[in-house]
Structure 1
Amino acid sequence: MSTTIVITMAGRGSRFTAAGYTVPKYQIEAHGHSLFQWSLCSLRHFIAADTRLIFVCLKENDSGDYVRSQCEVLGIGDVHIVELDELTDGQATSAYLSRTLWHTHGPLLVYNIDTYVEPDALRPDAIRANADGWVPCFQAPGTHWSFVRLGDDGWAVEVAEKRRISDHASVGLYWFGSGADFVTAYDRYFADPVHLVGGERYVAPLYQQLLRDGLKVAITDLPPEHVHVLGTPAELAVFLAASPQLPG
């Protein structure tokens, strides 16, 4: 089954604007490449000839031409742009709004444009056999991540947003065995507004619904030095102080 990759980039990047940046966050350059390019490079081993890429953008950012030109350079053919008229209540909703374009019965991967994971550390063959969900993680301080707690057998038993239930923090990539699983989980989990976190609908808690439905969720624990978070000006400053090389 063909994989669908949904890249959510439907925010305003207000923290970067406040810090004096004058271009949209995804166009900010670091070490000669835009954050968009760094982020998409993370998925090198997931993008095949039959992979569909869907970019969920905010209409006011006028991102379409930029996204298409970048994908053309990368040789990605099956590209779709979804432009939203307004901000949504979270990444899960932004992805959900593009669902009519998904290969429903094929794998679904949801990612962002403000994380660079060195691509050789992020491979499809790391997904555990029989997994219905997969969350690449790394060891990081703080409580501002999504977290996965494992059972003795190494399968997830709990997934939480902004609650440090373990040391396994998500890198921001969320894989589902099928797009249909995402849609079912979204519809059922968020039917109860108590599941919103700070008023937002995050992707990670959807795995709680998968677990409740008896499905299996796995993780991969990545070396922290291979994960570069670019979501805030402070995080970008750390990246700028490093010397990463975008793989050729």
Structure 2
Amino acid sequence: MNILILAAGGVELHDGDYPLCIAEIDGRPLLQWVIDACSGIRGAKFIVALREQDIRRYHLGNMVGLLAPRATVLSVPENTQGAACTALLATPHIDTDDELLILNGNDLLEADFSAVVSDFHHRDLHAGTVTFASVHPRYSYVRCGEDGLVVEAAEKNPISRAATAGFYWFKRGTDFVRAVQNMIRKNASVNDLFYICPSLNELILEQRRIGTYTVEQNHYHPMKTLQQVSQCESLILQRRAE
């Protein structure tokens, strides 16, 4: 399975101006949390997308090599037209019949990633995403039909209470690449940016089976400010002490 970690976002936490993906939580950089969460997935091949300037300035290639020795570091220019376009830079690695897992490297999701993927396998899905309950328009959303399969996906638009948690699995990487390419041809952007979640609409049009795996709201931690990083760390330490 190819695991693409998108950690090229431009957000910095003003803690020495280090990029968000290496903010430390309980002594471990956020990127390490994401990689460690995949430890139960057999045959994982990591591709980590990082900003070119961060790779140079903070030697992040060395850091990734220590965390996942056989990982591929994908150097991303300063600006792309959204996460989906960043993901397409990995096309030489992911446009295959192998499974593909796309993760947001700037969030922390408390879940058994291997169990989630196994659930998707068991349900014979073509794609799947992890969701949590929310109605805030900062997130991406999916809406499911009576059979529990996704019938619509939207970005920054609460079309349901099922917000996505930056975890997207595809049975075949070729399906994702094709879906994003079709989405871009249709100019299905949001605020002139192309996101991962709306690409699911292209697979829905192909009548593919797309499912969800729900986690508790407090098991998904978006990281946009130092306060959110601190709150996440406090919650994790509190759970450990219980």
Is this a same-fold pair by TM over 0.5? Answer: yes
Q: Distance in 2 between matches of 1:166 and 1:208?
A: 15
Q: Which amino acid aligns with 2:18?
A: V
Give 5+ residue unaligned stretches, structure 2: none
Q: Which amino acid aligns with 2:163?
A: A
1:145 aligned partner: 139
Q: Would the aligned equivalents of 1:42 and 1:116 in 2 still touch at CA under 8 Å?
A: no
Q: Would the aligned equivalents of 1:10 and 1:87 in 2 still touch at CA under 8 Å?
A: no
Q: Which amino acid aligns with 1:223?
A: E
1:208 aligned partner: 201
What percentage of residue pairs aligned between the two structures are identical?
24
Which is richer in helix? 2
1:9-88 counterparts in 2 under 5 A?
A: 9-14=7-12, 16-17=13-14, 20-46=15-41, 48=42, 50-62=43-55, 63-72=60-69, 77=70, 79-88=71-80
- The CA deviation at 1:180 is 0.5
Q: Which stretch of structure 1 is more off in the superposition, 60-69 or 33-42? A: 33-42
Cα separation, partners in 2 of 1:116 and 1:44, compared to 1, 3 Å: farther
Q: Distance in 1 between matches of 2:114 and 2:44?
A: 17
Q: Would the aligned equivalents of 1:43 and 1:119 in 2 still touch at CA under 8 Å?
A: no
Which of the numbers 128, 150, 161 marks the counterpart of 1:156? 150
Aligned residues: 233
- The CA deviation at 1:43 is 2.4
Q: Distance in 1 between matches of 2:77 and 2:176?
A: 23
Q: Map Cα deviations across residues 29-56 of structure 1 (whole Å, 9 max, x no partner).
A: 122111111222332333x2x2211111
Cα separation, partners in 2 of 1:225 and 1:84, compared to 1, 3 Å: closer
TM-score by length of structure 1 reads: 0.87
TM-score by length of structure 2 reads: 0.89
1:189 aligned partner: 183
| 2:117 paired with 1:120 | no
Give 5+ residue unaligned stretches, structure 1: none
- RMSD (Å) for aligned C-alpha atoms: 1.9
Which of the numbers 4, 28, 31 marks the counterpart of 1:6? 4
